Amino acid sequence: MTNKLSVMCVSGTLEKLQMAAMVSSVAAATGEDVTVFFSMNALKFFLKENAELAPPEEGDFGPLINVEGVPAFRVLFEQAAELGDAKLLACSMALDLLKVDPQDLVLDFGPATGLTKFLSDAEEGRIVSF
């Protein structure tokens, strides 16, 4: 079994972003090689100009995430990158459509990456999508 996990984050709902962050941070903390690719509706919640949290839309669990003691998804992704060396990548197409530069993102993202490159790099490991 490979120790390479590639996470594709495209949803703009709190529950999916939170689960993607939890999976990424736990995998990175346990020594897995983690890459997270942010695109479509997920990417807008990492823009410096957008301080709002993603809306809970999956059901009753979303509002429970905001209780004290549950780290926000941005914090978990940041910890995955800082403590577990996870790579955070922004989709180049999504950046173009949003008309933003990678410097406009709140976390330390790697170079803008296309889907083809992400999938090619993920080929030898596991891919999960949120």
Distance CA 56, CA 31 (A): 30
Whether 61 shows a pLDDT value over 80: the answer reads: no
pLDDT given for residue 91 in this prediction: 98
Q: Which spans in the chain are helix H?
A: 14-29, 40-43, 61-65, 73-84, 92-98, 115-122
Average of pLDDT values for 114-123? Answer: 96
Do the Cβ atoms of 127 and 4 come closer than 8 Å? Answer: no
Number of domains in the chain: 1
* Minimum mean pLDDT range among 43-52, 79-88, 106-115: 43-52
Q: What pairing do the DSSP bridges indicate for beta strands 33-38 and 4-9?
A: parallel
Q: Is the pLDDT of residue 64 over 90?
A: no
Mean pLDDT for the stretch of residues 96-118: 94
What is the CATH number for 59? 3.40.1260.10
CA distance 65 to 111: 30
Chain centre to alpha carbon of residue 72: 12
Instruction: Give the range of the structural domain holding residue 43, as residue numbers without chain letter.
Output: 4-129
| DSSP secondary structure code for residue 104 in this structure | G
Spatial distance between the Cα atoms of 36 and 79, rounded to a whole number of angstroms: 13
